[in-house]
């Protein structure tokens, strides 16, 4: 059956702010304490979605989470007569917890789940295991709402299976699709799944991991997902992310490599024994696809130093298929502003040996300042025609829904936010009003704690 890749992009939530919450994420660490611009952030994300939809690519949206999360604050014992009192007492006693519970981090939906298409699944359904995001407190509170949201959108149990997140704490730390790449000759065909982990929870030596920054994704979490999704051994390849790149600020694999169909763009230093990993991917892909060759594109250090790769977010570009054998790079504007990266992209597009033919730069600076580029903002879901028809139509992006969402952002989002604003009870009310209206726009019914 025909199938297409649908990009589900996370809408930036009304509390988008810079709290410096992510150790190991250089942009988040650098911009912590700055003033954010939630309206601009949401409009930048929508502009990227609209561009992809206009290219003829199926595009959909995922709603943000409710923040600040009063549910989580109450569970920590911050009490009061009403929600405004809960905010006030938290702001007074533990502003750092209020900041963490106010993050709009659910916008980076590449971390929402690890999705594999039904063509690869034993039971013929698309599985959605919400990532537990256990490595960072502010993200570890996302999975319950992620699960409710996914259940509202992928409600048709004949076609979709929304799982529980992995249990197991740190040992099973899971960051979702940010560390997973699927290769296939075309999206509709059976695929090879590439899982990149930062560490092994069991049996590894202490000198094998990164020294400066933590690794978030464990080998064991992806092994569990492979078992749950019943992926065959022949259809999976595992690789360890290089500790050196984690220490340079590569907190997810999608900051150092990106794939699409039969193409993999990666930095020379991305993996432990990169060349061995690429050989294994080539062999496995050839065997699984019945002879199609993988096209690995290695970006050498001497053309793009690691620091430029991290600051420009070259590898957090999306690669999308425009027509058979023709792909485009959807890149952050920062790439055009980084001389080594800009020159590299120009050379790459001029080379006839890859399907990459065009580049489109996007100003996503609001999200980028927290370490989220084009690829972080989207969750790729390959859906066949039946599965596509089972989606609530309101989540698809088209001219009409785009205009409605832009008007919705302009009506409800603040122009700017600072840390002090997070304690403002009006911000909570505004956010809830916005989300309540959004669920109606998207046709999702009640999904948030304040609506239930």
CB of 323 to ligand SUG, least distance (A): 27
With CA atoms as reference, report the closest residue to 256 among 280, 238, 274.
274
Nearest 5°: the CA angle 393, 396, 397 is 140
- Is the backbone peptide bond immediately before 68 cis, with ω within 30 degrees of 0? yes
Please tell me whether residue 15 binds ligand SUG under the rule CB under 6 A.
no
With CA atoms as reference, report the closest residue to 260 among 309, 205, 191, 310.
191
- Of the candidates 5, 40, 142, 175, the residue annotated as catalytic is 175
With CA atoms as reference, report the closest residue to 229 among 171, 270, 174, 302.
174
Interface residue with ligand SUG among 50, 180, 252, 267 (CB under 6 A) is 252
Q: What is the dihedral of CA 115, 120, 122, 126, to 10 degrees?
A: 30
CB of 264 to ligand SUG, least distance (A): 17
Indicate the residue among 25 and 236 with the shorter CB distance to ligand SUG. Answer: 25
How many chain residues bind ligand SUG (CB under 6 A)? 24
Interface residue with ligand SUG among 103, 118, 145, 235 (CB under 6 A) is 103
The one segment of 16-24, 45-53, 331-339, 358-366 that binds ligand SUG by CB under 6 A = 16-24
First to last CA, the chain: 38
Is 412 part of the annotated catalytic residue set?
no
The one segment of 17-25, 60-68, 265-273, 437-445 that binds ligand SUG by CB under 6 A = 17-25
Indicate the residue among 17 and 338 with the shorter CB distance to ligand SUG. Answer: 17
Please tell me whether residue 319 binds ligand SUG under the rule CB under 6 A.
no
With CA atoms as reference, report the closest residue to 324 among 369, 280, 357.
357
Indicate the residue among 110 and 166 with the shorter CB distance to ligand SUG. Answer: 110
Is 37 part of the annotated catalytic residue set?
no
Are 90 and 186 in contact by the 8 Å Cβ rule? The answer is no
Interface residue with ligand SUG among 65, 105, 114, 318 (CB under 6 A) is 105
The one segment of 7-15, 155-163, 256-264, 365-373 that binds ligand SUG by CB under 6 A = 365-373
Is 376 part of the annotated catalytic residue set?
yes
User: Between residue 370 and residue 409, which ones bind ligand SUG under the rule CB under 6 A?
Assistant: 370-372, 376
- Of the candidates 252, 267, 369, 412, the residue annotated as catalytic is 252
CA 45 to chain centre: 13
Tokens, residue 413: 């989002």
* DSSP state letter for 182: E
3-class DSSP state of 258? strand
Are 376 and 110 in contact by the 8 Å Cβ rule? The answer is yes
Are 422 and 96 in contact by the 8 Å Cβ rule? The answer is no
Rounded Cα distance, 202 and 175, in Å? 18
Please tell me whether residue 22 binds ligand SUG under the rule CB under 6 A.
yes
CB of 241 to ligand SUG, least distance (A): 12
Q: What is the dihedral of CA 425, 427, 429, 432, to 10 degrees?
A: -140
Interface residue with ligand SUG among 21, 73, 192, 381 (CB under 6 A) is 21
| Orientation of helix 83-93 relative to helix 425-442, angle to 10° | 130
CB of 132 to ligand SUG, least distance (A): 13
Nearest 5°: the CA angle 187, 177, 360 is 65
Please tell me whether residue 28 binds ligand SUG under the rule CB under 6 A.
yes
Distances in Å between the Cα of 363 and the Cα atoms of 178, 232, 288, 373 are 21, 40, 38, 9
CB of 379 to ligand SUG, least distance (A): 10
The one segment of 229-237, 250-258, 293-301, 435-443 that binds ligand SUG by CB under 6 A = 250-258
User: Between residue 164 and residue 223, which ones bind ligand SUG under the rule CB under 6 A?
Assistant: 178
Indicate the residue among 185 and 332 with the shorter CB distance to ligand SUG. Answer: 332
Interface residue with ligand SUG among 254, 261, 268, 308 (CB under 6 A) is 254
Please tell me whether residue 235 binds ligand SUG under the rule CB under 6 A.
no
Nearest 5°: the CA angle 285, 289, 295 is 50
CB of 279 to ligand SUG, least distance (A): 26
CB of 179 to ligand SUG, least distance (A): 8
Decide: residue 339, CB within 10 A, 0-12 exposed, 13-18 middle, 19+ buried. exposed
Please tell me whether residue 139 binds ligand SUG under the rule CB under 6 A.
yes
Indicate the residue among 265 and 295 with the shorter CB distance to ligand SUG. Answer: 265
Rounded Cα distance, 266 and 284, in Å? 18
Interface residue with ligand SUG among 4, 20, 125, 363 (CB under 6 A) is 20
Indicate the residue among 191 and 372 with the shorter CB distance to ligand SUG. Answer: 372
Rounded Cα distance, 30 and 18, in Å? 9
Are 375 and 107 in contact by the 8 Å Cβ rule? The answer is no
Indicate the residue among 289 and 318 with the shorter CB distance to ligand SUG. Answer: 318
* Residues belonging to the active site: 175, 252, 376
Q: Which residues bind ligand SUG (CB under 6 A)?
A: 18-22, 25, 28, 32, 103, 105, 108, 110-111, 136, 139, 178, 251-252, 254-255, 370-372, 376
């Amino acid at each position: 059956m025909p199938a297409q890749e649908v990009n589900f992009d996370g809408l930036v939530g009304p509390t988008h702010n810079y709290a410096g919450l992510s150790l190991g994420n250089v942009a988040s660490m650098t911009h912590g304490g700055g003033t954010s611009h939630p309206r601009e952030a949401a409009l930048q994300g929508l502009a990227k979605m609209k561009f992809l939809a206009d290219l003829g690519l199926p595009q959909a949206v995922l709603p943000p989470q409710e923040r600040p999360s009063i549910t989580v604050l109450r569970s920590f014992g911050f009490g009061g007569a009403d929600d405004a009192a809960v905010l006030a007492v938290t702001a007074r006693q533990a502003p750092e917890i209020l900041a963490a519970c106010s993050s709009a981090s659910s916008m980076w939906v590449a971390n929402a789940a690890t999705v594999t298409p039904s063509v690869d699944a034993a039971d013929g359904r698309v599985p959605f295991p919400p990532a537990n995001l256990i490595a960072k407190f502010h993200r570890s509170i996302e999975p319950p709402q992620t699960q409710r949201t996914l259940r509202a959108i992928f409600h048709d149990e004949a076609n979709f299976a929304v799982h529980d997140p992995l249990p197991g704490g740190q040992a099973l730390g899971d960051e979702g699709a940010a560390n997973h790449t699927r290769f296939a000759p075309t999206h509709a065909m059976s695929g090879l799944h590439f899982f990149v982990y930062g560490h092994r929870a069991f049996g590894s030596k202490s000198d094998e991991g990164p020294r400066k920054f933590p690794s978030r994704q464990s080998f064991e979490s992806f092994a569990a997902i492979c078992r749950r999704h019943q992926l065959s051994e022949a259809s999976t390849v595992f690789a360890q992310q290089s500790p050196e790149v984690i220490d340079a600020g590569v907190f997810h694999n999608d900051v150092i490599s990106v794939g699409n169909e039969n193409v993999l763009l990666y930095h020379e230093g991305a993996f432990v024994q990169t060349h061995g990993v690429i050989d294994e991917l080539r062999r496995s892909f050839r065997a699984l696809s019945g002879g199609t060759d993988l096209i690995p594109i290695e970006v050498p250090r001497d053309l793009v130093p690691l620091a430029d790769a991290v600051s420009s977010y070259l590898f957090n570009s999306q690669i999308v298929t425009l027509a058979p054998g023709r792909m485009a790079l959807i890149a952050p504007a920062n790439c055009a502003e980084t001389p080594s990266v800009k020159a590299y992209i120009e050379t790459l597009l001029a080379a006839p040996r890859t399907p990459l033919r065009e580049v489109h730069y996007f100003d996503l600076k609001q999200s980028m300042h927290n370490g989220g580029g084009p690829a972080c903002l989207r969750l790729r879901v390959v859906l066949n025609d039946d599965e596509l028809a089972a989606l609530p139509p309101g989540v698809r992006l088209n001219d009409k829904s785009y205009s409605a969402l832009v008007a919705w952002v302009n009506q409800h989002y603040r122009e700017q936010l600072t840390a002090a604003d997070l304690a403002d009870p009006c911000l909570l009310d505004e956010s809830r009003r916005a989300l309540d209206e959004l669920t109606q726009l998207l046709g999702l019914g009640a999904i948030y704690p304040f609506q239930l």
